Structure 1
Amino acid sequence: MSLIVSKIISSSLLIPLNFMILLLIAWFLLGSRFKKAGRALLMLCIVVMTALSLPVVSTGLLQTLYQEPALSFNEIKGAQAIVVLGGGAYRNQADFGAGALSASSLERVRYAAFLHQKTGLPIQTSGGAWEGEEAVADIMKRELETLFHTPVKWVLNRPATTAEEAQQSRELLAGEGINTILLVTNAFHMLRAKTSYERAGFNVIAAPTVFPVAPPNLLKYVPTAEALWQSNRALHEWIGIAWYWFRGA
């Protein structure tokens, strides 16, 4: 299945396209003899959208993915390299005169730089690109070296999915005799990423970064766009995990 087709399918299961599809179905039902079903579906969409917009719900969904705690430096012994996964980039940014890392990628790069400063381990960046665009891994290398003054030894700029990143990282690093890695990605992405890299043959030491928490007051019950994004992110990860399990990837 091509990357574009898989993106379209996954988008249809996520916000906002899934709700747009359901609302369209509700609209057709309301104009038919199944008005009760249409009203019920419309109400369901409103309730679910509201719930997913609550910080208390979104952080709860994200926490179902947090199966790896923050890294303890006692765990680092034996690690041979730092592998940091890309999380997207902004293309052709006028302020930088080139592509720039997205928020998720920047969070990961920041933590990789921190770990390199603590351990001295070499870094591999990983992240592909759409045809004709600069790869995320190349942008990560540039920003690590120019903004964080942290050297990058390997760049993996071809893979399109986490599973492909794992397989191609294994091919690249096996030739260097590297089997044990510190794997850096956002906490919400670590479950899927670690599983993929272990299946590729690595001994993985998880190094997750950024653990969102709900506000400690009544604001956690106030709907926000950020909470809706976090809920969508959690749903995206669980769909990805289910898909990898189905394919045995």
Structure 2
Amino acid sequence: MVSPELALALKRTLELLLLPPAGPLWLVLLGLWIGRSRAATGRAIAVLGVALAVALSTQGVGRRLAAPLEREAGPALDEASLRALMARSDAPQAIVILGGGVRSDRHARPERYRPHPRTLERLLHGAWVARVTGLPVLVSGGAPSGHEVSEAAVMKRVLETQLATRVRWAEDRSLDTGENAQRSAELLRADKRRRVLLVTHAVHMRRARAAFEKAGLEPVPAPTGFFGTPVHSDWLEWLPSADGAAMNWVALHEIAGRLWYRLRESV
């Protein structure tokens, strides 16, 4: 039986090796190596690697990879939708906000650890959902490798000190989405709560929802961060950019995450 820590390390190593920017570069190197004996074949493989590297750095490709994943999350909830949910007999009983990473900066003041922009987007949305519904909040995320503070601790601090939102539960041991669900479920079931509003990015929602259902909860999607639906579109989205590279990485990370969970369940 593979330990959770080893499985996580293996997963992250494979991500770094296969996802952009490394993945397409392996094709380029393979093409150069094959080109020593088969020039035409090697050149074609190398050109394919370069083309993939460029394409996976554009917002146009990133949005089109993310859009079908985000559609599975369902629509964004507005205030009227939330109030209608709360008026039902099976209304949600809590809000769960999933962490999306933290950043460490030893020069930062007053706090060294701060939420990653993905986490901050989820916190902003979760705080708004809490204000509309009045439901208690659970934050979920353990301490990444090399970090002394858990995501949950950072999220709790930001919600309570910056967003005027009280956190009732801080789940600070999980290292991936599956553990987010399992450990959050333990805290919520102890308080006799099963139906929850689940806050995460739209691209991540299907996998997160499945994990929480497997853990015995009844998640109601409250997605945020729909970057697969552009506000406007022009030719600039087809030029390589840092934003484009980030969009593609997030979408491919989610696709890889789904494949990983299927593989792990089949072993």
Which of the five TM-score ranges fits, normalised by the shorter chain?
A: over 0.9
Q: What SS is found at the alignment partner of 1:209? A: coil
Deviations 1:116-169 (A, max 9, x none): 111111111101112552101100000000110110000011011100111111
Alpha-carbon distance between aligned partners in 2 of 1:7 and 1:50, rounded to the nearest angstrom: 23
Residues 162-186 of structure 1, C-alpha deviations (whole Å, 9 max, x = no match): 0011111111111100000000011
Q: Root-mean-square deviation (CA), in Å? A: 1.6
SS of alignment partner, residue 223 of structure 2: strand
Aligned equivalents of 2:233 and 2:10: distance in 1?
Answer: 41
**Count, aligned residues:** 248
Greater shift after overlay, 83-92 or 16-25?
16-25
Q: Secondary structure at the match of 2:76?
A: coil
SS in 1 for 2:69: coil
2:70 aligned with 1:56:
no
C-alpha contact 2:96 2:137 (8 A) present in aligned 1:
yes
> Which 4+ stretches in 1 moved above 6 angstroms?
none
CA contact (8 A) 2:16 2:22 kept: yes
Q: What CA distance in whole angstroms lies between the structure 1 residues aligned with 2:25 and 2:234? A: 32
TM-score by length of 2: 0.88
2:107 pairs with 1:94: yes
Q: Secondary structure at the match of 2:170?
A: strand
**Residue 121 of structure 1 corresponds to which residue in structure 2?**
135
Aligned-residue offset at 1:100: 0.3
How far apart, CA to CA, are the structure 2 residues paired with 1:93 and 1:108? 24
- Cα deviation, residue 6, structure 1: 1.9
Matched, 1:70 2:87: no
Aligned pairs for 1:1-249 (under 5 A) are: 1=2, 2=6, 3-30=8-35, 32-66=36-70, 67=72, 68-71=74-77, 72-73=81-82, 74-76=84-86, 77=88, 78-96=91-109, 97-129=111-143, 130=145, 133-212=148-227, 213-214=229-230, 215-248=232-265
Contact 2:30 2:46 in 1 (8 A): no
% identical aligned pairs: 35
Structure 1, gaps ≥5 residues long: none
Q: Normalising by the residue count of structure 1, what TM-score does the alignment of the two structures yield?
A: 0.94
Question: Relative to structure 2, which stretch is displaced further, 157-166 or 85-94?
Answer: 85-94
Q: Is the 8 Å Cα contact of residues 126 and 199 (structure 2) preserved in structure 1?
A: yes
Unaligned runs of 5+ in 2: none
